[in-house]
């Protein structure tokens, strides 16, 4: 007879007092298998603890307790990215013939929603069954984006599955692309790099990019290239294979075009990450059409984790479920437009497990 999972415990506590009066909270979600913590700064998935094949738990996200770092070099660690994840070329969008200049983040693009993005904001939080709901109001014109936007991010835990669900509504036509930006190291935080992790991506193409990381031209097949993770292989193997695209970012920082999934259907698997040493596995399922994989190529050891480790290149890997980069300028891509009376919805499931 199958023993049902223990109900998820949900606890709220003040976050580190170094928040300098920001009034931050930490929410802990605990099942009989894993534990996750979420903080109200950036609606961030802050820690994630799971057992290895021997049942020994370890915290598997890159993180820091330093609020100053979370507002600086670690500003994207685990956060809900918005209003628009990834890059928008030329820092502008056009909707219904009206041009909207966006605040730039450098290199001729607006990245992850602008210089004062959702990752810097303190979200409101409330308990929901098996989890916590975060809410943020983004005013009309925020970072240049039109429309007042209300965003809700739900984190719910059921057994070994953590589900992140997004919802948004707007007062004017706008564009929305939300994701979570957690960095994973399944060996455990601070325990080496992720180059030996086995990665599988359920995608047959990428969106090739220029030197600004902006897509150009048609989708590019991955078969036989450094981007071919249609079957499991170590991340280092792909990097060693070499590819002109890898020179642009000194590693992986690219969007895979996921295989077609049912419209308005449940999340479908996008990727599988596995650490041979510990046996930990992570399945990522999503309703989104793309997956941005970033191997922390630009990490400069300025962020210190709880283990005392300074994070350098390849200390973790981000698996960002989202729409394709620069979709507002790419009419052939799935649309990211949101209009009054419509509701943006998206879900991603992080399913933790072990392999022999």
Q: Which residues are catalytic?
A: 181, 320
* Residue 86 is assigned to a ligand binding site: yes
Query: Which residues have a Cβ under 8 Å from the Cβ of 282 and sit 6 or more positions away?
Result: 60, 184, 186, 272, 273, 274, 319, 350, 351, 352, 353
181 is in an annotated binding site: yes
Q: What is the dihedral of CA 325, 42, 309, 105, to 10 degrees?
A: 40
Evaluate whether 291 touches 352 at the Cβ level (below 8 Å): no
Q: Does 87 belong to an annotated binding site?
A: yes
185 annotated as a binding-site residue: no
How would you classify residue 348: left for phi > 0, otherwise alpha for psi between -120 and 50, otherwise beta?
Answer: beta
Is 300 assigned to a binding site? Answer: no
Q: Which two tokens stand for residue 281?
A: 């596995």
Strands 233-234 and 9-14, bridge-based pairing: unpaired
Handedness of CA 252, 277, 300, 40 (dihedral sign): positive
Whole-angstrom distance, CA of residue 96 vs CA of residue 123: 31
What span, in angstroms and rounded, lies between the C-alpha atoms of 98 and 114?
20
Q: DSSP letters of 159-220?
A: TTEEEEEEEEEESS-EE-B-EE--EE-TT-TTSS-STT-EEEE-EEEE--B-TTS-B-SS-E
Name every residue whose Cβ is closer than 8 Å to that of residue 266 and which is 6 or more positions away in sequence.
287, 347
Element (H, E) at 248: helix 244-249
Angle subtended at Cα 175 by Cα 169 and Cα 179, rounded to the nearest 5 degrees: 80
Helices (H) and strands (E) in the chain, counts: 3, 28
Alpha carbon distance 340, 171 (integer Å): 5
Any binding-site annotation on 44?
no
Residue 69 per-residue DSSP state: H
Based on its alpha-carbon atoms, the radius of gyration of the chain, rounded to whole angstroms, reads: 19
Question: Which residues are annotated binding-site positions?
Answer: 86-87, 181-183, 253
């Amino acid at each position: 007879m199958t023993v049902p999972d223990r109900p998820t415990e949900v606890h709220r506590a003040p976050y580190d007092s170094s928040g300098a009066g920001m009034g931050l909270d930490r929410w802990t979600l605990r099942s009989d298998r894993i534990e996750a913590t979420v903080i109200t700064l950036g609606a961030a998935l802050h820690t994630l603890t799971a057992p290895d094949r021997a049942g020994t738990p370890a915290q598997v996200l890159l993180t820091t307790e330093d609020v100053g770092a979370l507002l600086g070099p670690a500003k994207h660690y685990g956060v809900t990215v918005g209003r628009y994840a990834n890059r928008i070329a030329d820092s502008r969008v056009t909707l219904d013939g009206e041009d909207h200049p966006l605040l730039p983040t450098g290199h001729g693009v607006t990245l992850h929603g602008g210089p004062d993005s959702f990752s810097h904001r303190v979200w409101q939080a409330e308990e929901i069954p098996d989890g916590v709901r975060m809410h943020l109001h983004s005013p009309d014109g925020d970072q240049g984006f039109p429309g007042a936007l209300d965003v809700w991010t739900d984190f719910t835990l059921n057994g070994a599955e953590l589900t992140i669900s997004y919802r948004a509504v707007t007062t004017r036509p706008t564009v929305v692309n939300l994701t979570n930006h957690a960095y994973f190291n399944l060996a455990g935080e601070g325990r080496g790099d992720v180059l030996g992790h086995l990665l599988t991506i359920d995608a047959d193409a990428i969106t090739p990019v220029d030197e600004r990381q902006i897509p150009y031209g048609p989708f590019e097949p991955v078969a036989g290239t450094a981007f071919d993770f249609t079957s499991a292989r170590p991340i280092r193997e792909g990097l060693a294979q070499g590819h002109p695209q890898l020179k642009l970012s000194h590693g992986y920082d690219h969007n895979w075009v996921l295989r077609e999934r049912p419209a308005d259907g449940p999340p479908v698997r996008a990727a599988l990450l596995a650490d041979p040493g510990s046996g930990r596995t992570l399945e990522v399922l999503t309703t989104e059409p793309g997956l941005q994989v970033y191997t922390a190529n630009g990490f400069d050891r300025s962020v210190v984790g709880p283990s005392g480790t300074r994070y350098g290149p390849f200390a973790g890997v981000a698996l960002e479920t989202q729409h394709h980069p620069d979709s507002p300028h790419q009419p052939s891509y799935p649309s990211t437009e949101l209009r009054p009376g419509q509701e943006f919805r998206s879900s991603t499931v992080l399913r933790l497990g072990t392999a022999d």
